[in-house]
């Protein structure tokens, strides 16, 4: 399967899995495991907006930092700019927050509801230059179902 086919399959299953009757944490937890099965990157998880911070939510992978301030790191930048951040080499990103020394590239997608960011989806890869516009397009679609 190519990347597009992998994402189409992932999204089909995600749409069936997301339950609008339960809270975000439950759906994010299932989505992390579903993503991990289809796109097994080093770290896949959500940070949720709580007042002026992003606070660690459901994830798969090694332990991570628990709090990220608005505008800080790749995650805080995605929140501040309301836009997906694709980082080919995290070591070149000014202000990158290194939760794991094994991470070399990263994509962060803001989760937006009623025009406001309520969470970000963060995916780290141990390879350089892992993510592109195809990842951005499908991951943006995926979080839109939350
Ligand atoms: N690298 C992120 C921090 C979160 S960890 O990668 C899980 C950042 O710079 O915002």
Supply the pLDDT for residue 37. 97
Report which DSSP code applies to 38. Answer: H
Q: Report the interhelical angle of 133-144 vs 3-17 (nearest 10°).
A: 10
Residue from 71, 120, 124, 131 whose mutation best tests the ligand 1 pocket (most atoms within 8 A of CB): 124
State how many domains the chain has. 1
| Residues flanking ligand 1, CB < 6 Å | 43, 64-65, 68, 73-75, 96-97, 99, 103, 106, 122, 124
* pLDDT reading at 13 higher than 90: yes
Identify which of 76, 128, 66 has the alpha carbon closest to the alpha carbon of residue 99: 66
Kindly give the number of the ligand 1 atom that is closest to the alpha carbon of 98: 1
Nearest CA to ligand 1 atom 6: 99
Identify which of 93, 19, 28, 16 has the alpha carbon closest to the alpha carbon of residue 56: 28
pLDDT tens string 121-137: 999 999 999 999 999 99
- Structural domain boundaries enclosing 50: 3-144
Beta strands 105-113 and 53-60: pairing type?
A: unpaired
pLDDT tens string 29-52: 999 999 999 999 999 999 999 999
Q: What is the CATH number of the domain that holds 56?
A: 3.30.450.40
pLDDT tens string 80-92: 999 999 999 999 9
Cα separation of 21 and 13, whole Å?
17
Full-prediction pTM beyond 0.75?
yes
* pLDDT reading at 99 higher than 90: no
Residue from 55, 66, 81, 96 whose mutation best tests the ligand 1 pocket (most atoms within 8 A of CB): 96
Sign of the alpha-carbon torsion through 55, 60, 64, 69: negative
Q: Using an 8 Å Cβ cutoff, are 130 and 105 in contact?
A: yes
Q: Using an 8 Å Cβ cutoff, are 14 and 33 in contact?
A: no
pLDDT range class, residue 100, cuts 50, 70, 90: confident
């Amino acid at each position: 399967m190519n990347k597009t086919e992998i994402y189409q399959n992932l999204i089909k299953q995600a749409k069936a899995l997301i339950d609008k009757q339960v809270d975000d944490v439950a759906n994010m937890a299932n989505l992390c495991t579903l993503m991990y099965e289809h796109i097994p990157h080093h770290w896949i998880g959500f940070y949720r907006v709580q007042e002026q911070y992003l606070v660690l939510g459901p994830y798969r992978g090694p332990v991570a930092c628990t709090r990220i301030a608005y505008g800080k790191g790749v995650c805080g930048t995605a929140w501040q700019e309301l836009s997906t951040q694709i980082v080919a080499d995290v070591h070149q990103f000014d202000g990158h927050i290194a939760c794991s020394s094994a991470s070399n590239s990263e994509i962060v997608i803001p989760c937006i509801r009623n025009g406001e960011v309520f969470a970000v989806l963060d995916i780290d890869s141990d390879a350089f230059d892992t993510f592109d516009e195809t990842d951005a397009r499908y991951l943006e679609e995926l979080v839109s179902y939350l």
